[in-house]
Structure 1
Amino acid sequence: MVQKVYDVKGMTCAHCVQAVSSELAGLPGVDDVQVDLPSGRVTLTSEQPLDRAAVAAAVDEAGYQLAGGEPR
């Protein structure tokens, strides 16, 4: 299992969390999505490392922006 933390810009409410969680959960190999609204941090647990571009595209599809830099 691989766990990475990403910063997402623009989330302000529970609907935002649901939209981001739903898009990211749909990525192949994702086992768990945890969103911390106050910090804007999203923790993804997956079977294999995820392609950052795929994560960014899913966040964009939800209407938000993946902050720059590599995941933690």
Structure 2
Amino acid sequence: MKKVICIEGMRCGHCTSNVDKALREIPGVSDVNVDLAAKTATVEAADSVSDDAFRKAVDDLGFEVTAIR
């Protein structure tokens, strides 16, 4: 499945790198593309990966997930 995660609080390349790394560490995630300008992360993952797993990974970094679609 493909999900787009809207994220507030990312301000630089270091932020996007941390989000990328955290999302890739979730079991079942196969690809991540973080876009600082759009404030999104596009994730390819197995259907078994829950939105809560994405939200927790981002929230644990101190950023805010505003939507997952």
RMSD between superposed Cα atoms in Å: 1.2
SS at match of 1:67: strand
Number of matched pairs:
69
* Cα pair 1:6 1:66 within 8 Å, conserved: yes
Quote the sequence identity (%).
Answer: 35
Q: C-alpha distance in 2, partners of 1:26/1:62?
A: 13
Tell me the alpha carbon deviations over residues 35-57 of structure 1, each in whole angstroms, 9 at most, x when there is no partner: 11001011000122521111111
Could you tell me the TM-score, scaled by structure 1's length?
0.87
Q: C-alpha distance in 1, partners of 2:40/2:60?
A: 17
Gaps of 5+ in 2: none
Could you tell me the TM-score, scaled by structure 2's length?
0.90
Question: What is the correspondence of 1:40-59 to structure 2 with a 5 Å cutoff?
Answer: 40-59=39-58
Structure 1 runs of 4+ with >4 Å offset: none
Q: C-alpha distance in 2, partners of 1:49/1:39?
A: 26
Gaps of 5+ in 1: none
Q: Kindly indicate which of the two structures has a greater share of residues assigned to strand.
A: 2
Q: Which amino acid aligns with 1:32?
A: D
User: In the alignment, what sits opposite 1:23?
Assistant: 22
